[in-house]
Amino acid sequence: MLIKLLRAHLGPYKKPILLLVLLQFLQTCATLYLPTLNADIIDNGVVKGDTGYILEFGGIMIAVSIAQVACNVGAVYHGSRTASALGRDVRAAVFDRVQSFSAREVGRFGAPSLITRTTNDVQQIQMLVLMTFTLMVSAPIMCVGGIVLALGQDVPLSSVLLAVVPVLGIAVGLIVKRMRPLFRTMQERVDTVNRVLREQITGNRVIRAFVRDGYETKRFGVANDELTDVSLSTGRLMALMFPTVMTVVNVSSIAVVWFGAHRIDSGGMEIGALTAFLAYLMQIVMSVMMATFMFMMVPRAEVCAERIQEVLETESSVVPPVAPVRELRAHGHLEIRGADFRYPGAEEPVLRSVDLVARPGETTAIIGSTGSGKSTLLGLVPRLFDVTDGQVLVDGTDVRTLDPELLARTVSLVPQKPYLFSGTVASNLRYGNPDATDEELWHALEVAQAKEFVEALEHGLEAPIAQGGTNVSGGQRQRLAIARTLVRQPEIYLFDDSFSALDYATDAALRAALTRETAGATVVIVAQRVSTIRDADRILVLDEGRVVGRGTHHELMDGNETYREIVLSQLTEAEAA
Our CA angle for 558, 561, 567, nearest 5°, is: 80
423: left (phi over 0), alpha (psi -120 to 50) or beta: left
Sign of torsion, CA 303 307 312 317? positive
Cα 273 to Cα 49, 155, 207: the distances in Å are 17, 11, 73
Q: Please give the single-letter amino acid code of residue 361.
A: G
Distance, CA of 292 to CA of 299 (rounded, Å) = 12
Count Cβ atoms within 10 A of the Cβ of residue 188 and give its class: 0-12 exposed, 13-18 middle, 19 or more buried: middle
Task: Please write the tens of the pLDDT for every residue from 444-481.
Answer: 999 999 888 888 888 889 999 888 888 888 888 989 99
CA atoms within 13 A on the CB side of 157: 32
User: How far is C-alpha 23 from the chain's CA centre?
Assistant: 34
Cα 353 to Cα 127, 220, 341, 349, 363: the distances in Å are 52, 44, 9, 10, 22
What backbone phi and psi angles, to 5 degrees, belong to 503? Answer: -75, 165
Which three-class secondary structure state does DSSP give residue 165? helix
**Smallest Cα–Cα separation from 292: which of 238, 345, 219, 348?**
238
Q: Residue 398: in which H helix or E strand, if any?
A: strand 397-398
CA atoms within 13 A on the CB side of 423: 11
pLDDT value of residue 571 = 66
Q: Residue 423: in which H helix or E strand, if any?
A: strand 423-424
What residues contact 201, with CB distance under 8 A and at least 6 apart?
A: none
DSSP state at residue 435: T
Entry field: residues in the chain: 577
Of the chain, the end-to-end C-alpha distance in Å amounts to 66
DSSP state at residue 316: P
Q: Residue 188: in which H helix or E strand, if any?
A: helix 159-202
DSSP state at residue 449: T
**Smallest Cα–Cα separation from 348: which of 138, 505, 544?**
544
Distance, CA of 148 to CA of 97 (rounded, Å) = 49
Count Cβ atoms within 10 A of the Cβ of residue 314 and give its class: 0-12 exposed, 13-18 middle, 19 or more buried: middle
- According to DSSP H, which parts of 336-389 are helical? 374-380
Q: Residue 35: in which H helix or E strand, if any?
A: helix 14-40
Q: What share of the chain is helix, strand, coil (3-state, %, to 5)?
A: 65, 10, 20
pLDDT value of residue 326 = 84
Pairing of β 546-551 and β 538-543: antiparallel
Relative orientation angle of helices 438-447 and 474-488, to the nearest 10 degrees: 130
pLDDT value of residue 577 = 59
pLDDT value of residue 508 = 85
pLDDT value of residue 91 = 93
Q: Residue 413: in which H helix or E strand, if any?
A: strand 411-414
**Smallest Cα–Cα separation from 37: which of 59, 52, 70?**
59
Pairing of β 411-414 and β 492-496: parallel
* Average pLDDT of adjacent 10-residue blocks, the chain of 577 residues: 84 88 87 80 74 81 89 89 92 90 81 85 89 80 79 72 75 77 82 84 79 87 90 84 79 79 72 76 76 74 88 84 81 88 79 90 88 87 88 89 88 87 90 88 91 88 86 87 90 88 84 87 87 86 88 86 84 60
Which three-class secondary structure state does DSSP give residue 340? strand
- How many CB atoms are located within 10 Å of the residue 559 CB? 11
Distance, CA of 43 to CA of 49 (rounded, Å) = 10
Distance, CA of 114 to CA of 119 (rounded, Å) = 9
Distance, CA of 477 to CA of 418 (rounded, Å) = 7
Distance, CA of 123 to CA of 90 (rounded, Å) = 10
pLDDT value of residue 483 = 92
Which three-class secondary structure state does DSSP give residue 492? strand
DSSP conformation letters of 241-263: HHHHHHHHHHHHHHHHHHHHHHH
**Smallest Cα–Cα separation from 481: which of 418, 430, 532, 413?**
418
108, 344 contact by CB (below 8 A)? yes
Sign of torsion, CA 266 270 275 276? negative
